[in-house]
Amino acid sequence: MIRHVNFLLLCPHRLSTLVHAISALGTTAPHFLALAHYACANTVCSPDHPSGYRGRMHGEWDQDHLGIGLVVSDNGACVEYPHRPTVGFLQGGRTARLSQPLTMSSGGHHRLSIVIERTGVYSQQSLTEVGLVGARFNESIALWTAQTGWSFQSYGGKSFLVTPNRNGRDRYGKVIVNGDVVTLRLDMNERTCALEINGEDFGVAWKDLPDKVYPAVTLFPPAMYRIVTED
């Protein structure tokens, strides 16, 4: 049975429980007990110890904190704002975040890609917004207006960054069209996030990130984004 267990997918806490539950793995050797105690005591995991590599995000949108009008499909991987705006009508943006946060204290590096299946429309111009939110956020407003939001925005033929508590917008990246892929590269040790667009690296976008962040997007109708997690 042991050969069917992928130990890389177990956090130390679950591994310790498994070892003690299976007689074939059990041991009372002092060095094993000391190692198990050290690993469990010095590893930070999410409260529910989700499966997958420690700290790796689940590839699904948080349906418990979802802006009104947004629809999640494809086993949680796809989020869209299906209502199509009428000419001259400004439909408010809605924000969706991932169901699991990234915790900086867990260390390591993470990559997560968002496929822009359809851009949104705001004031009759194409708009795409991808970024991060902190533990507190408002799903009924756009990322660029959030006090704890870090935003990359493509709008009106321009692309730029919007950072909390800053009125200015820094030119960055390139204009997004349907089918583009925006990749977030998070360095948990340095507390930074860099962005790639279709594989092209545009460098660090945000620094000094808080301990807990959620990848997030803002949608204006008829936007549709798909999440793709990577190791």
| Residue ranges of domains in the chain, CATH in brackets | 2-41 (no CATH), 61-229 (2.60.120.920)
DSSP state of 106: G
pLDDT of residue 187: 94
Chunk the chain into consecutive blocks of 10 residues (it has 231) and report each block's average pLDDT, rounded to whole numbers.
50 60 57 58 52 50 90 94 60 86 84 95 92 86 76 93 70 95 94 96 94 93 89 52
Concatenated DSSP letters for 212-227? EEEEEEEE-TT-EEEE
Two structure tokens written together for 27: 């041991």
pLDDT of residue 15: 61
Q: Are 153 and 127 contacting, i.e. CB atoms less than 8 angstroms apart?
A: yes
Amino acid at the residue 217: V
108 Cβ contact partners less than 8 Å away, ≥ 6 residues apart: 55, 188, 189
pLDDT of residue 45: 57
pLDDT of residue 52: 43
pLDDT of residue 56: 41
Two structure tokens written together for 11: 């956090």
